[in-house]
Amino acid sequence: MTRMAATRDGYGQALLDLAGNEKVVVLEADLGKSTKSLHFRKAYPDRTISCGIGEQNMLLVGAGMAASGYIPFASTFAIFTERAFEQMRNGIARPNLAVHLCGSHGGTHTGTDGSSAQSIEDLGIFRTLPNVVVMHPCDDVSTRVLTMQLPALGTPSYMRTARNKTPVLYDGREDEIKIGKGIVLKEGNDVAIVACGVLVSESLKAAESLKAEGIHATVVDMHTLKPIDGQLIDTIATRCGALVTAEDHNVIGGLGSAVAEHLVANTFAPLEMVGVPDRFGESGQADEMLEVMQISAHYIALAAKKAISRK
């Protein structure tokens, strides 16, 4: 049976794993229990700074610490990272200070917290900032591995994690996970599905349903949206001739936009985008939200057929 876990748990474990590096410090904005940085705080209270409900201040504290040689990891809900966009831009990205921001509970899959708490624009917002690496991993293993690679990055980053449990795909495959490199999870020549976050497992389900109809899909986990793995996009565009992107994010500005930007300037292929259709979310259970937003496996499979028809 497939193990289930939340990506936020992978983030919390990675912070503990990184504690051997005495330069690593953790910043919280009153939500350490939810982002899972609380485990580091309990073990290393002298290297944890509580900034209260002050996200702007938290990022500038992080900037000051990064400028002083520390490696700060700051976290809060994805929706609240947006309060600190100007500080992320001018205080961190512009001077290129290696502060690592994690936004938990992103996307409509957050569910019952409702539209005000469902960040559907965070990946697009931070993707616009020079120097900032943007990631949205799909399971706790990849979240842990990617987080542990951040101290060597030397530039700022934004990572989205999720509260709800998703299938674990990378047990025993840790060596395949690298910032900036997409991972092929399934191979087929008819269409390529490029996904991130919770929709990676939905894309694998879609590929199975397509296989039953004689359609063979490649499925790619594009956990890093910026820098996008253009070489892999070129490869699958050439091989499959049609692409689908799948993300729990506004269809404008996120993974779909990143892939489209690459396609029009490089190896072109028709692209169908599955994502939140330029609207706000609503309150509902996680799986209900995937149906309401038409981003579940069923809709990914429909998009794949449409993309194939456009070859």
Find residue 29's DSSP bridge partners.
Answer: none
According to CATH, the topology of domain 180-309 is: Rossmann fold (3.40.50)
The pTM is what? 0.98
- CA dihedral angle for residue 300, residue 306, residue 309, residue 311, rounded to 10 degrees: -70
Residues 6+ apart with CB under 8 A from 302: none
Q: Which residues pair with 28 in a beta bridge?
A: 50, 75
Residue 75, strand partner residues: 28, 102
Domain 4-167: which topology?
Rossmann fold (3.40.50)
Task: Determine if residue 131 is left, alpha or beta; phi over 0 gives left, psi from -120 to 50 gives alpha, anything else beta.
Answer: left
Q: Look up residue 247 and give its two tokens.
A: 């993300």
Q: What is the mean pLDDT of each run of 10 residues along the chain (311 residues)?
A: 93 98 98 96 98 97 98 98 98 98 96 94 98 98 98 98 96 97 98 98 98 98 98 98 98 98 97 98 96 98 98 96
Could you check whether 4-167 and 180-309 share the same CATH topology? yes
For the chain, which residues make up each domain, given as ranges? 4-167, 180-309
pLDDT confidence of residue 1: 76
For 17: left if phi > 0, alpha if psi spans -120 to 50, otherwise beta; the answer is alpha
Query: Which residues carry out catalysis?
Result: 55
Q: How many CA atoms lie within 13 A of 29 on its CB side?
A: 25
b/e per residue 196-223 (b: at least 16 CB within 10 A):
bbbbbbbbbbbbeebeeeebebbbbbbb
